[in-house]
Amino acid sequence: MKLFEKMKLLFNKHSFTSAIIVAGGTGSRMSSDIPKQHMTVDGIELVARTLITFESCALIDEIIVVCREGENDIYENYKQTYGITKLTRTVCGGATRQESVLCGFEAVDSRCKYVAIHDAVRCLIDVTDIENTLNAAYKYHAATAATRVYDTVKLADENGFISDTIDRDKVFLASTPQVFKHDLYMTAAYSAKKDGAVVTDDNALAERLGFKIKLVACEHPNIKITTPCDMETAKAIIESKKREI
């Protein structure tokens, strides 16, 4: 982003926005004793890369990390090592991602008007994509980062045969951050808790109550690092970015 654009963001008023970084994974598919969020790529821990990016986003006012029990000291070290001044709290997560996000939500500052929920291991997220998603949420009250699908998409029937071809211009893969107006998310999250509804992402909490969510296509890679192969892909992406500088 150009300097004058960053300065404009700094001086423009925006609603107080809290980033909730979900970092409670175990990394079982990594075949490692180290939780995947603490594994390093190009010398920096995955979650630290995420924190550095959200720290540099002018529209983010505070960062809450939802972590594993006993990891608070690790994040204090990250704050000191990488200069993460916006990290205000670390809280332990629940039994599921849905419960963990709610733990983070309950820890946000009382001034919070919007929450941006992000997976710690989507550490390649670009500041521009965060800002684009936030600005869409400020306008529409809810927005999610997403990736366009370029392959031809087929719908299968119950026997595994093609039943239809989907218009790929209307197909997106949901990613994070997923951003919501505070009161909208509060209504959606506690309604799901009351009803015992289990969902796969935070968008679905809002969807089940009929709230509209704006899709924002990412302009840069935003993969979720889950397997050793993903680590190699992340390394390649980082090296490519270095060559562009």
- Which pLDDT tens digits describe the chain residue by residue (245 residues)? 555 555 555 555 789 999 999 998 776 677 678 899 999 999 999 999 999 999 999 999 999 999 999 999 999 999 999 999 999 999 999 999 999 999 999 999 999 999 999 999 999 999 999 999 999 999 999 999 999 999 999 999 999 999 999 999 999 999 999 999 999 999 999 999 999 999 999 999 999 999 999 999 999 999 999 999 999 999 999 999 888 76
CATH number for the region 15-244 comes to: 3.90.550.10
- Confidence (pTM): 0.92
Do 17 and 116 meet the contact criterion of CB atoms below 8 Å apart? yes
11-14 long-range contacts, CB within 8 A, separation 24+: 14/59, 14/134, 14/138
Give domain limits for the chain. Answer: 15-244
Can you give the pLDDT at residue 25? 76
Residues contacting residue 41 through CB under 8 Å, at least 6 positions apart: 49, 123, 225, 231, 234, 235, 238
The pLDDT of residue 6 is 56
Measured from the Cβ of residue 123, the count of other Cβ atoms closer than 10 Å reads: 25
Neighbours of 40 (CB within 10 A): 12
